[in-house]
A = this chain, B = another copy of it.
Amino acid sequence: MGHKERLEKFAARLELSGFNAYICVNESNVFYFTGLPSPATLLIRRDGHAVLYVSPMNYGLAEKEAPQGVEVAHLKMGVAPEALLAEILSQLGGMVGIDSLDFETHRKISGLIGGVDLRPQSRLVWDMRMSKDTYEVEVIREACSVADKVMRAAADLLVPGIKESEVKAELTAEVYRRVGQEPAFMPIVAFGERSAHPHGPILRGAARDRVLKRGDVVVIDLGVKVEGYCSDLTRTFYIGSEMDERLRNTFESVIHAKALAQNIMRPGVSCSYVDDIARDYLSNKGLDAYFIHSLGHGVGIDIHEPPRIGPGSQDQFVENNVVTCEPGVYILGEWGVRMEDTLLVTEEAAIPLTSYPLDEYLIY
């Protein structure tokens, strides 16, 4: 779907929901509708007319890159966001949606917007963004394919004596080499007891780095961005040929919990239920107390987006969701094991888009 079609589809939804217009200030929403990555404000009217308000710094990019049918409006330097919002709203009436609004801004403008009924409702855009179109699936597939190759390059570096920072640097360089731009996020590389922290340890003082030793567990979590869309992939390795039974059971349990959860991801299924399935399985193995985060999340323009696949989530899967499935078990002071793939949810199956082998976790 092109940007023009997205805008038309969204305008039809505005009409159906009784909105006269909608304002996007969230950077990734603006990118979704216009392909422009920089901070800007986008007004979409129910008739499909769209206006992109850009500051002087982005006149050049906007003039050159704005999609057909999007009018570009030039702001002066230093216009405060609340002043722009009040100005836009003064031309509107009735019910107007907005994707993000902080309380302070609302208070500042509430006296200036006359009869406008301004409603923060981010869900209206998410309902579209959560279901990826053909183009989006294609570029995410490419980002996933590169992630697999980068993971391979990273695994090849895991020789005792290398530092976490060296793996991160080389892994980042490999992303630059393969796609010409930066990773989707700064990679996590955690050795040994540091892998027990899902996002790695606090990099402070002497803890800024760590050398790899034989017998270490290694968690590597990386993502690639292609045409503005992310992939997300985690593998855990063990440096040695034989691990103790508890650790081996944990690897196998995490891999099995992941398969069970993936197997039931379908449109209409509750996200919290899928999380339950993985959690219950780990509970039977006595490991649920160590599965200390949600099972997964949506992936797209943002590395974390709806749906949330975790306890208490109100979300349901929809067709063409792209999501992660990433159970993990973390034993403080010892190690952590997490396995994560990015998947496409269809009527028939949740199809893994990343495909680095799950069973090649021994490195020796």
- A positions within 8 Å CB-CB of B: 35-38, 55-57, 59-61, 65, 77-80, 100-106, 120, 122, 163-166, 168-170, 172-173, 176-177, 179-182, 186, 196-199, 201-205, 208-209, 227-228, 292-294, 310-313, 330, 332
Contact = CB atoms under 8 A, between A and B. Distances in A.
A156 B332 CA distance: 44
A77 B310 contact: yes
B61 A197 contact: yes
A306 to B, nearest CB: 14
Given A57-B293, A60-B332, A169-B177, 7 more contacts: A59-B292, A60-B330, A78-B312, A101-B103, A103-B103, A166-B177, A204-B227
Contacts of A38: 199
A201 B37 CA distance: 10
Nearest to A123: B104
A55 B198 CA distance: 12
B311 A78 contact: yes
A196 B60 contact: yes
Per DSSP, chain A at the interface is loop
A331 to B, nearest CB: 10
Contact of A293 (B56, B169, B312): B56
A224 B295 CA distance: 33
A224 to B, nearest CB: 12
A176 B203 CA distance: 12
A36 B164 CA distance: 21
Nearest to A98: B103
B169 A173 contact: yes
Most chain B CB atoms below 10 A, which of A56, A122, A196, A311: A56
